[in-house]
Chain A
Amino acid sequence: MSRILATGLKAPPPHAPRRLATTADVLKLQRLMTHLLVRPLTKQDGLQPTWIDGRPTAAVAAEFIKSNDRLTSFERLQLYNRMYWFRLLDIMHDDNPGLRALLGEKKFTRLTEAYLAKYPSRSFTLRNLGSRLAQFIREQPRLTAPHTALAHAVTRFEWAQTVAFDEGAHPGLTAADLKRTPPARLKIALQPYLSLLALDWPVDDYVIAVKQRDALRGAASNAVDSARVVPRSRQVARPRRGRIYLGVHRYHHRLFYKRLERPAFLILTALAAGRPLASAVTAGGRGVKPAQVSGWFATWMELGWLCRR
């Protein structure tokens, strides 16, 4: 059972209100029920038998939920508790194939249960459910040990794909924009959907290999979700250390990962930080030739990465 406290939820009332006369009473009831729903399931996928104040959860449930001739109050609440966790764990499962392959199913599930217990959704859309997972991995390294740094890198990469998929876009920078403003004053922004990642492992190759393996497994079998535990022979080897610089982006509404040279990455990072063009170019270092920089900018403009700040 996780002892990590949920972020954002105010404390539940000690008891359910006996009647709802005001919106404040409605809030008390909803706060109590939410606390019960977001509590992690037992190992048997059930509602935890003991409430936070030591009383049996069955007694707490009976205070505000009716039983019927088939189900107790506890069992009715348990249906919602299970649906909450199964739904959210499914989303995390689907959104993080690389991290799941890296950790294995059991460890991945433990991590995501602990994550959701601490960081329940604070957004109306499930799209943002994993937005704080990389941060959580740093906060709770034991849950991913001994591969915490790699898990963190894979998670950042997988979240960058969500961003690239549907984040907004501004009108791209044109050659006319470049001509109009002197480089010393020209401030260029990067598209919101573009993520720049400096990583210590080639996680792009790793995640592609995982997805290819999963696609092959899906095509080879009609069994429904039959193999949550992957046999060792089909596991994708963990990547070897090696620094990479990535731009995770979309082009014509399709996801791409572009490897970048280090100076190019540094120039883009400087632009993202708001440095004017002339200053940002110097971030690439002295060894960079003007022709290289021109080539990079031509490519970035063609990809639509650049826009006016």
Chain B
Amino acid sequence: MPANPFNGQTDYGIGIGLRVPHYAHILEQKPVVDWFEIISENFMVDGGRPLEVLDDILEQYRVVQHGVSMYFGSADKPDRTHLKKLKALVKRTKTPWLSDHLCWGSVDGTYTHDLLPMPYTFASAKHTAEKIKMVRDYLEVPICVENVSSYAEFHVSEMTEWEFLTEVVERADCGILLDVNNIYVSAQNHGFNPYAYVNGVPHHRVGQMHVAGHTKFEKYILDTHDHPVLDPVWKLYAHATKLCGVTATLLEWDDKIPSFQEVHDEALKANEFIDGAKQAPRKK
């Protein structure tokens, strides 16, 4: 979906994650990049070098915030300090939308710093949606929730993952950050059809997409973000783009990070699939 309420009516193109090894290159060479995604938590500090770099980036580039620790699915209430710091950052970056994961990761104020899979039940969907609404109302910015890759499923689940995602975003009236690599990884780990997933989500709510590389092991696949996007993921991305329309897309590369140019070139491969989607009529 190009501009929609869930990405702040923007029409961003292809972006990459802002990562420390690329700071010097970006600040000195000022390469042309449509937008950068920042990990919110890396800049939710009170001062010093992180904020200096961020301010320099903000002078020249469009930035979108992506969080890793809001834990919409945790039974805990949102942490007030966290919310205050996040709001200060939202004001600083003027991010048109903000994303975080459809997962849990904290209990009783203890943080695992992992993106743990949700039990796909109506009770957890209801609680999660309430939390998303609460956070959105406080931050006053549209929110997109991202599907995570997972390695475990719960007996108590009452629906598929994409039904759960749909239940949550419809209840919260929020957007989706559709991570097609995560769909592929989870599909391989749990044995479902990734195309059924992409077909099953409300396409008009997709405000952003993620692509990334993963690593295959003998019995499972890990979402490692440490190399180029694999062909099956690009194909799934092409399919998703046909259904959702041309959508702000970001390549995640978080480990064994190569040169800026290599990461950016990999991200720009998305253009090949976007061109295909532009020619195809979009399904409602």
Residue numbers of A with Cβ under 8 A of B are: 6, 8-10, 16-27, 29-31, 33-34, 37-38, 63-66, 68-71, 73, 75-77, 79-80, 83-84, 87-88, 120-127, 164-169, 192-193, 250, 253-254
Contacts and interface: CB of A to CB of B under 8 A. Distances in A.
B138 interface: no
Contacts of B50: 166
Contacts of A27: 75-76, 107
Interface stretch (B27-35, B113-121, B175-183): B113-121
Interface string B138-180: 0000000000000111111000000000000000000000000
Given A22-B123, A125-B44, A168-B46, A87 B113 contact: yes
Nearest to A6: B110
10 contacts: A26-B121, A26-B123, A65-B154, A68-B189, A71-B151, A71-B219, A122-B111, A123-B111, A124-B41, A164-B48
Contacts of B109: 8, 122
Nearest to B119: A20
Contacts of A25: 123
Given A20-B119, A23-B127, A193-B47, A124 B111 contact: yes
B127 A76 contact: no
Nearest to A168: B46
B195 interface: no
B69 A192 contact: no
Contacts of A167: 45-48
B259 interface: no
A66 B152 contact: yes
A70 B220 contact: yes
A18 B189 CA distance: 24
A29 B220 contact: no
Contacts of A88: 113
B269 interface: no
B23 to A, nearest CB: 12
B104 interface: yes
A294 to B, nearest CB: 28
A165 B152 contact: no
A77 B127 contact: no
A121 B112 CA distance: 7
B223 to A, nearest CB: 10
